[in-house]
Amino acid sequence: MALCLKTSRISIHCLKSKMGLLSMIKQDSCLSSLTHPQKPPFPTRNAQNFRDPDANFRMSATLFSARRLKSVKAEKQFCSLDNVDHNQVLDLPGGKVVLTPEMRFISESPEERAQCYRVLDNDGQLIMCSNFKKVGEEIAVKMYTDMVTLQTMDAVFYEAQRQGRISFYATTIGEEAINIASAAALTTDDLVFPQYREPGVLLWRGFTLQEFANQCFGNKADYGKGRQMPIHYGSNKLNYFTVSATIATQLPHAVGAAYSLKMDRRNACVITYFGDGGSSEGDFHAALNFAAVMEVPAIFFCRNNGWAISTPTSDQFRSDGVVVRGRGYGVRSIRVDGNDALAIYSAVHAAREMAISEHRPILIEAITYRVGHHSTSDDSTKYRPVDEIEWWRSARDPVARFRKWIESNGWWCSEAESELRNNVREQLLHAIQVAEKIEKPPLAELFMDVYDVPPSNLCEQEKLLGETVRRNPQYYPPDVSL
Amino acid sequence: MLGTLRQKILGQSLQRTRSAASALRSYSSAAKEMMVRDALNSALDEEMSADPKVFLMGEEVGEYQGAYKISKGLLEKYGPERVLDTPITEAGFTGIGVGAAYYGLRPIVEFMTFNFSMQAIDHIINSAAKSNYMSSGQISVPIVFRGPNGAAAGVGAQHSQCYAAWYAACPGLKVLCPYSSEDARGLLKAAIRDPDPVVFLENELLYGESFPVSAEVLDSSFCLPIGKAKIEREGKDVTITAFSKMVGYALKAAEILAKEGISAEVINLRSIRPLDRSTINASVRKTNRLITVEEGFPQHGVGAEICTSVIEESFGYLDAPVERIAGADVPMPYAANLERMAVPQVEDIVRAAKRACYRSVPLAAAA
């Protein structure tokens, strides 16, 4: 599906982007001199250098004509053993293996790092001859408005936590494209198993700002009945499984659910999200392995944002990121630019098709940066440079980048922008005010849902507690009903 | 989720038919005997046949016919989509089972022994037990974790631990321990039909034992209620509670005690969580003496919980201190003579019952 735009305007853009890249090289070499205060210098070949992510993009830009991804088929690996007598083959239970007299260890790192798929350049312009799934105006504008809404929601709720109105919050700043574009490429029938930095998927599917606020305030209208901390959203209706704080446990769950979808012969897949840190968990290994063996329609989406709280990826793993591990399990994989909404949209769209029609898992690694702190309990300036954070927040903002693209198509303008931002901010402030005033869940809810049917001991305890409260109302908060 | 609603209604109507069937119970003596292994196998077969959402997953359950042959013939009958041989990743397949249950299937996850469940215990507790509560009813987990539990014969420390107390401590789980073939059939069927996660603790040494089964037990709709203990033998002098293999030992002890004029009431707990406190307390109020028996480690064990329950509700009725008999407070030794001393024997139960009846000198207080 090659898309070659031959208008002169685009050629100029291509030229510009090439020139831009040249100037970027100069800029990036400054950035790469920003070394992490406590880390010894790593050879750039092996390190996931977050100060110079454009290294990947540069490589792909200069080689794009030769290495353009023509289709969504997996690349073939060519056998490059020279001194092999092809009659020397070993028959193993798992299949045939070619023998060789050469003792050659497979290198711990590839000659080249896995390339990163990108459609829009840093200025939000389509890269010449980029191969992507087209997005119409309606979807593109909804994607953009949802990205802005997510960004604004994060800002407002973060403020609310700082003011003491909610107890906790975790932002998704820098990962808006991942959240919204991946959701846009799926249908609501596809099941979502999130980690905790994917509220945008819920937003895309129709979760309202009021519903988000209700969960954060843990009030009576919260679907979680105030049982969990803020940001632990869930919605049966929207096929989004309730956030659980345990890391990477959702990966095997996703495989189990995908297996169930396969058994039911549904035209749907499962998508599960996790971070670079989550990929170190044992559950990651178990889930990918099983998904491949059981041949299930599951998309494993890794948000490689460079940091697991304070642990940089150089301390997390020594592989070339997460994408290369897919091959280790027999899982087809791709690396995408996590700040490029169109690239994510295309990759997830293709992955979904493959997953459902071919009954196979797909691994997508999106390279991005966690601009915000890990959560409101974290101050990331303690372990990374402030200018690094600020650079990613401004120069690499995925929202601004996508805005440039839709504006260049004539689908957006600055009036619409200010109207949207003001509107959303007002709605959020209103939602917070409303959520704050709604009553908390009644005391009776404390004992419900432990089991399907409340057991007798809990019924008894609820009765006793009710009696105690009625006898001593002065010790009991007035805004919580029984 | 309409599917869950439909299941709930179906479940309720099944319950009504079941209770009607048990009302027509016949008391004719059973000529038929059935091994526990076959009881479990037939229960699995019948439930898989009745509900296409039920499937079995675990190591060696398919081609090998089950590590202990419990799932014999099931792969052949239901095919590889419903009987899954898994790689050796307890954490993996337990998580996958929970994920399938989240979606609405009814998985049965087999652990080769419950010792291996420790590698998956995060998924059992954090993903299965707590999900219904944390999601406030949006995510139910109708899953069964089953497998042999407790000591076998000469398998050493890492293959002999009893997990009843550990799992029974966790709200959100139900924990069942069958003894006889009737228990095995009825409780496993109840577990599979239950919408909550159930930990089903079998016993390797009981698999080969045969028990008489009535026609009612053999019926495919047979089901035992969860949370009800069974009085295996009525008595009036001392109450002995036990579960799993220890029920057999307690019954043997009761025979010996009967010859000495002590009439022991043996309660087969069947359900560790929820614990049938009312049956236990009613019995203690009748006999005024209590011995609890279990194979597992003594500290924080099932016996400790039963003792507290009785003290809370029937303290005034006790004529003697409650005594708990448990395994030795050491990792299980391998050598046969040491192993024998590390688990309760019939004589231990007999002596304890006599002490409770003041027929012998009480034990000196432990240091």
Model confidence, pTM: 0.77
Q: Check A283 against B92: CB less than 8 A apart.
A: yes
Pairwise CA distance, residues B299 & A205, whole Å? 51
Residue A121 burial (10 A CB sphere; 0-12, 13-18, 19+): buried
* Cα Rg of chain B (Å, integer): 20
Contacts of A246 in chain B (CB under 8 A): 122, 126-127
Here the tokens at position A28 are 């990036």
B219: nearest Cα among B78, B32, B7:
B32
| Intervals of chain A under pLDDT 50 | 1-51, 53, 56-71, 78-82
pLDDT at residue A85 in the model: 57
Run of H or E including A362: strand A362-367
Pairwise CA distance, residues B249 & B351, whole Å? 13
Helix (H), strand (E), coil (C) string for B238-268: EEEEECCHHHHHHHHHHHHHHHCCCCEEEEE
- Hey, which residues of B are catalytic here? 90, 159
Contacts of B123 in chain A (CB under 8 A): 249, 252
Q: Check A246 against B127: CB less than 8 A apart.
A: yes
Report the SS3 class of residue A73. coil
Cβ B98 vs Cβ B139: under 8 Å:
no
Query: pLDDT tens across B301-334, in order?
Result: 999 999 999 999 999 999 999 999 999 999 999 9
- Tens of pLDDT along chain B (367 residues) come to 444 444 454 445 545 544 444 444 444 554 799 999 999 999 999 999 999 999 999 999 999 999 999 999 999 999 999 999 988 899 999 999 999 999 999 999 999 999 999 999 999 999 999 999 999 999 999 999 999 999 999 999 999 999 999 999 999 999 999 999 999 999 999 999 999 999 999 999 999 999 999 999 999 999 999 999 999 999 999 999 999 999 999 999 999 999 999 999 999 999 999 999 999 999 999 999 999 999 999 999 999 999 999 999 999 999 999 999 999 999 999 999 999 999 999 999 999 999 999 877 666 554 4
DSSP A273: E
pLDDT at residue A477 in the model: 84
Query: In this structure, are strands B210-212 and B198-202 parallel, antiparallel, or unpaired?
Result: unpaired
DSSP B325: E
Pairwise CA distance, residues A127 & A118, whole Å? 8
Q: Residue A252: which of B99, B137, B172 has the nearest Cβ?
A: B99
A452 min Cα distance to partner chain B (Å)? 6
B208: nearest Cα among B241, B245, B177:
B245
Pairwise CA distance, residues B238 & B357, whole Å? 7
* Active-site annotation holds for A370: yes
Query: pLDDT tens across B74-95, in order?
Result: 999 999 999 999 888 999 999 9
Q: Residue B102: which of A241, A289, A449 has the nearest Cβ?
A: A241
Pairwise CA distance, residues B2 & B112, whole Å? 35
Give the best residue of B12, B81, B136, B226 to mutate against chain A (max A CB count within 10 A). Answer: B136
* Active-site annotation holds for A86: no
Pairwise CA distance, residues B292 & B239, whole Å? 8
Contacts of B190 in chain A (CB under 8 A): none
End-to-end CA distance of chain A: 61
Within chain A, all domains assigned CATH 3.40.50.970 are found at 137-437
Number of H helices, E strands in chain B: 14, 14
A405 min Cα distance to partner chain B (Å)? 39
Contacts of A225 in chain B (CB under 8 A): 136
B230: nearest Cα among B216, B251, B259, B214:
B251
Question: Given this structure, which CATH class describes domain A137-437?
Answer: alpha beta
Q: Residue B127: which of A224, A253, A282 has the nearest Cβ?
A: A253
Cβ A123 vs Cβ A404: under 8 Å:
yes
Q: What is the largest CA-CA distance in chain B?
A: 64
pLDDT at residue A74 in the model: 58
What percent helix, strand, coil does chain B show, rounded to 5? 45, 15, 40
pLDDT at residue A128 in the model: 87
Pairwise CA distance, residues A359 & A125, whole Å? 35
